[in-house]
Amino acid sequence: MRKLILVLLVGLCLQAGATAEKSQPVRKNILLFTVDSCRADRFGLYGYRNATTPNIDAWARTGTAFTEAYSTSAWTAPGLASILTGLYPPTHGINNRDTAGTSRLLSLNKFFRERGYKVPNINFFTFAPYYRNLGLGPIENQYLSQTPGEEIGKWLKQNASASQPFFVWYHCTTIHQPYNPPDTELPAPREELMKSPGIKAVMSGAIVPTNSTRFQDADRPVLNALYDGELRRLDRIFKSALDALAEQGVLRNTIVILTADHGEELLDHGFVGHASTSLNAKLYQELVRIPLIISCPGLVPSGRRISRAVDQTDIFPTLLKLLSLEPLAHLQGQPLFSGRERPHFFESVIAGNQTTREREHIWVRGVLDKGHKYISTGELYDLRKDPQEKSNLHASRPELVTRLKTQLDEWLGKTTSLRAQLFPPDPRPARPDSLTAPAIFTPENGKRLDYEVHTGALLFDWSGNMETTYVVQYDIGTGDHHVEGTYEAKGNHQVLGPFSRELWENLKAWNPFKIRVSPKTDPPVWSAWTTFEF
Ligand SMILES: [Zn+2]
């Protein structure tokens, strides 16, 4: 009896010890490195053979790689918001043009800042409305750089230290269209490549609408080479971040995560790009299968590969688990190292960031369960037999279609209603956009516009929202060809044209074109001038 009590006591003590140890939070730095438009299958570690990612491959061997990781969407804002909030797009609500969820959203940035971490914002594009409720803080302009990709190394070299833990999120946008790798990475001289209208379009413009240009068979290897070149540049940028961590002596004490917002189509299903660039959302594997690799010596297993399907919502709960912090009940993902098999869901509004008011109700949704993928465009694929999604089984497997469609409908209902439960309306309205100076996204300042690339149309696009009335001020041309004035525009998105080629040519006589915008307020709050030429 005494022995039994002793055994029980020892057992209890051990358990208490274990619990005490477990509840003690672990202090680690976190580098969350996300990549725009980055499909998984072009990485060496995922089986690609063109030596695109030697540095990432070597680093991945020091951590764990997930071979079936998925984005929740096919464009930037919803995917990044899923990573930062651990929620699916219908729940976080950052899933349509200019939507921002609510100020009650809990992001990794808010979470770690509250716990005393240094949490910088070095992502230039986060002035867009999507990001205003994620607690990112003001953009720290001193780290922005003319050379894309330098921001993260710069921040780490100046700030990473053992004295205060940091959570730094860096979103690398270099791969995003236009594909413009350094000249040394080009498969032929630039002028030569530009002779193909399709290649010219993807090398020149950030937006290439579906069917706006025709690709030829000969474009395929060129396109692959351009994307590979962009990946090699990414590989060097990522290496520079690891080097900066090592130089500062904090690499061993940092959880490093590399993943993407969504993938990218490279003629796999007839065109190039993703929802916001092709204006035609698709949810095929090349668009939703993304890289996901995590490292941290002593905390994350090294040299391991996990093939269970996981998604972006799993990153937040994984960090809590790795740091021995209490799980948060509202998160929709599960810890990457201990989760179970589950279906994965995808959603994209038709043209992502470029969705117009007329098209904001057009959605494409999908579900992937046990190797079968159903897409709401009337498609069903067996990924185990048909990983490239070429053979649509929708007509031949009606019972499976019904099951998956029901699953998708239930998910949409549940995740949408959860949003209302988790985030009741804001106690007071957020600062209205009408008081802040907009930033003009398109056209890019200093750009010459190309007729083919822009399919004859002129797109104006600035930060703000679709409800506000804006004043556009223009100052066009010089000397005899000079005109200036203002006009009003509803919403922060305008398409003028398409114009005939002849008119486009005639507009050149009026170069340069300058515009700036302000919400219709008194006094106005003007954006900076943007100058462009035809
Ligand atoms: Zn993106």
**How far, in Å, from the CA of 270 to the mean position of ligand 1?**
20
**How high is the mean pLDDT of the chain?**
91
Q: What percent of the chain shows pLDDT beyond 90?
A: 77
**pLDDT of 294 above 90:** yes
| Tokens coding 33 | 């490195």
Cα→Cα distances 201→144, 211, 278, 336, Å = 27, 11, 12, 39
- Identify which has the larger pLDDT, 505 or 107: 107
Looking at the chain, the whole-number percentage of residues with pLDDT higher than 70 is: 94
pLDDT exceeds 80 at position 140: yes
Ligand 1: distance of its center to the CA of 435 in Å?
Answer: 28
From the CA atom positions of the chain, what is the Rg in Å? 25
Distance from Cα 11 to the centre of ligand 1, integer Å:
52
CA 176–ligand 1 middle distance (angstroms): 7
Distance in Å, CA 397 to ligand 1 centroid? 33
Distances (CA, A) of 165 to 33, 155, 262, 498: 17, 14, 29, 52
Cα(177) to centroid of ligand 1, in Å? 10
Taking every pair of Cα atoms in the chain, the longest distance, rounded to a whole number of angstroms, is 107
Q: How far is the CA of 89 from the centre of ligand 1 (A)?
A: 14
Cβ(160)–Cβ(252) below 8 Å: no
What pLDDT does residue 220 have? 97
Three-state secondary-structure class, residue 11: helix
- 189 φ/ψ sector (left φ>0, alpha ψ -120 to 50, else beta): beta
Pick the CATH number of 433-533 from 3.30.9, 1.10.3470, 1.10.260, 2.60.40: 2.60.40
**pTM, 2 dp:** 0.80
Report the separation in Å between the CA atom of 322 and the middle of ligand 1, taken as the mean of its atom positions: 27
Question: Tokens 């729940």 identify what position?
Answer: 91
63 SS3 class: coil
pLDDT score of 246 more than 60: yes
In whole angstroms, give the CA distance from residue 433 to residue 438: 8
Domain boundaries, the chain: 26-338, 433-533
Res 432: pLDDT: 59
Distance between Cα 76 and ligand 1 center (Å): 3
How many whole angstroms separate alpha carbon 217 and alpha carbon 212?
Answer: 17
* Residue 247 · residue 54 · CB < 8 Å: no
469 alpha carbon – ligand 1 mean position (Å): 28
Q: ∠ at Cα 454 (275, 353), nearest 5°?
A: 25
Alpha-carbon distances of 338 from 259, 321, 447, rounded to whole Å: 19, 9, 49
Question: Nearest CA to 291 among 48, 53, 68, 55?
Answer: 68
The CA 165 to ligand 1 mean position distance, Å, reads 28
- Can you give the pLDDT at residue 428? 55
The one-letter code for the residue type at 93 is G
Total Cβ atoms within 10 A of residue 278? 26
CA of residue 264 to ligand 1 center, whole Å: 9
CA distances from 278 to 205, 229, 264, 282, 351 (A): 11, 21, 10, 9, 7
Q: What's the rounded Cα separation, in Å, for the pair 234 and 227?
A: 10
Distance 80 CA to ligand 1 centre (A): 8
Architecture of domain 26-338: 3-Layer(aba) Sandwich (3.40)
Task: Report the separation in Å between the CA atom of 262 and the middle of ligand 1, taken as the mean of its atom positions.
Answer: 6
More confident residue, 211 or 24: 211
Report the distance separating Cα 482 and Cα 472, nearest Å: 17
Decide which of 447 and 9 is more confident.
447
CA separation for the pair 416, 411 (Å, rounded): 8
pLDDT at 148: 86
State both tokens at 421.
Answer: 């439960």
How distant, in Å, are the alpha carbons of 461, 494, 508, 518, 532 from that of 477? 21, 21, 9, 21, 11
Distance 513 CA to ligand 1 centre (A): 29
pLDDT digit string, tens, across residues 178-232: 999 999 999 999 999 999 999 999 999 899 999 999 999 999 999 999 999 999 9
At 91 the pLDDT is 97
**How close is the Cα of 201 to the center of ligand 1, in Å?**
18
pLDDT surpasses 80 at 426: no
Instruction: Report CA(482)–ligand 1 centroid distance (Å).
Output: 38
